[in-house]
């Protein structure tokens, strides 16, 4: 009787764990769908520049080569493979987040390559957004860190910031923040002049969603 109860308890716990993982994945899928919709509608010029995703095995291999095991990032890069910069266009046009656009996975990986990388951040950081002008949003892949999976700002214009500030609480929070800014017309994109930002409202929205990030507590 006791063994049967324990067996049922274990089965129940496993089922709850599976359901929790399913709900988290379902929730991120919904967040990503909302992001897709708002960028397609309100930043069409950039949306159409997104590359089709790499093969699933390539995505996993590239992420794992940087010790990244995050289903959200796998799903993000399975959606689109970021945007390559066209050198005949102004870099100011490449921005739908206030810090740039999602970078192609293979390009982001190359920035961390010790042979030809930037050498500007520690190896546990991985660039997922950049403006092709020296600013990046970096994912913390260090599983032992208290800020694991948080997004940090690396800014060429703020090299004196040491340590770097956390900017978004997670990949989910990053997408939610961008989506909300567009839906609230705090972000307005023009294909001739780039992203127009209502700074005060933008700060309020990002601070409200990213309650753990230190950048917004300054």
Q: What is the pLDDT of residue 20?
A: 37
Residue 26 pLDDT level (bands cut at 50, 70, 90): low
pLDDT above 70: percentage of residues in the chain: 83
Average pLDDT estimate for 27-37: 97
Q: What is the CATH number of the domain that holds 151?
A: 3.40.1580.10
Torsion sign, CA atoms 97, 101, 102, 105: negative
pLDDT in tens, 139-166: 999 999 999 999 999 987 765 466 789 9
Residue 204 pLDDT level (bands cut at 50, 70, 90): very high
Residue 119 has pLDDT above 70, yes or no: no
Separation of alpha carbons 75 and 7, rounded Å: 34
User: For residue 155, which phi and psi values (nearest 5 degrees)?
Assistant: -120, 125
Q: What is the pLDDT of residue 121?
A: 83
| Contact status, residue 132 vs residue 118, Cβ threshold 8 Å | no
| Contact status, residue 108 vs residue 126, Cβ threshold 8 Å | yes
Average pLDDT estimate for 20-49: 85
| Contact status, residue 188 vs residue 195, Cβ threshold 8 Å | yes
Between residues 141 and 2, which one has the greater pLDDT? 141
Expressed as residue numbers, the domain containing 136 is 2-217
Q: What is the pLDDT of residue 130?
A: 96
- Average confidence score pLDDT of the chain: 87
pLDDT in tens, 171-183: 999 999 999 999 9
Q: Which residues fall within 8 angstroms of residue 140, CB to CB, at 6 or more apart?
A: 124, 125, 147, 148, 149, 150, 151, 152, 166
Mean pLDDT lowest among 4-13, 41-50, 70-79, 122-131: 4-13
Q: What is the pLDDT of residue 1?
A: 43
Q: What is the pLDDT of residue 15?
A: 42
Residue 13 pLDDT level (bands cut at 50, 70, 90): very low
Alpha-carbon distances of 99 from 18, 22, 25, 96, 102, rounded to whole Å = 35, 31, 26, 7, 10
Q: What is the pLDDT of residue 194?
A: 97
| Nearest CA-CA partner of 109 in 147, 64, 169, 171 | 64
Mean pLDDT lowest among 15-19, 153-157, 209-213: 15-19
Residue 53 has pLDDT above 70, yes or no: yes
| Nearest CA-CA partner of 147 in 169, 178, 171, 179 | 169
Omega before residue 163 within 30° of 0, cis: yes
Q: What is the pLDDT of residue 5?
A: 37
Separation of alpha carbons 111 and 20, rounded Å: 35
Q: What is the pLDDT of residue 112?
A: 87
């Amino acid at each position: 009787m006791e063994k049967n109860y324990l067996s049922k308890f274990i089965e129940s716990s496993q089922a709850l764990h599976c359901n929790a993982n399913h709900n988290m994945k379902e929730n991120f899928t919904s967040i990503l769908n909302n992001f897709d919709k708002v960028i397609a509608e309100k930043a069409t010029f950039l949306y159409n520049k997104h590359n089709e995703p790499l093969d699933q095995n390539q995505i996993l291999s590239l992420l794992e080569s940087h010790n990244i095991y995050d289903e959200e990032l796998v799903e993000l890069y399975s959606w689109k493979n970021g945007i390559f910069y066209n050198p005949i266009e102004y870099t100011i046009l490449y921005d739908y987040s206030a810090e740039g656009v999602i970078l192609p996975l293979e390009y982001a990986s190359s920035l961390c390559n010790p042979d030809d990388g930037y050498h500007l951040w520690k190896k546990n950081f991985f660039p997922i957004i950049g403006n092709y002008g020296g600013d990046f949003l970096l994912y913390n892949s260090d599983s032992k860190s208290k800020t694991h999976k948080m997004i940090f700002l690396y800014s060429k214009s703020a090299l004196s910031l040491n340590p770097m500030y956390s900017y978004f609480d997670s990949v989910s929070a990053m997408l939610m923040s961008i989506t909300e800014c567009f839906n609230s017309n705090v972000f307005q994109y023009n294909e001739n002049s780039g992203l127009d930002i209502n700074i005060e409202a933008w700060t309020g929205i990002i601070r409200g969603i990213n309650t753990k990030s230190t950048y917004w507590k300054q």
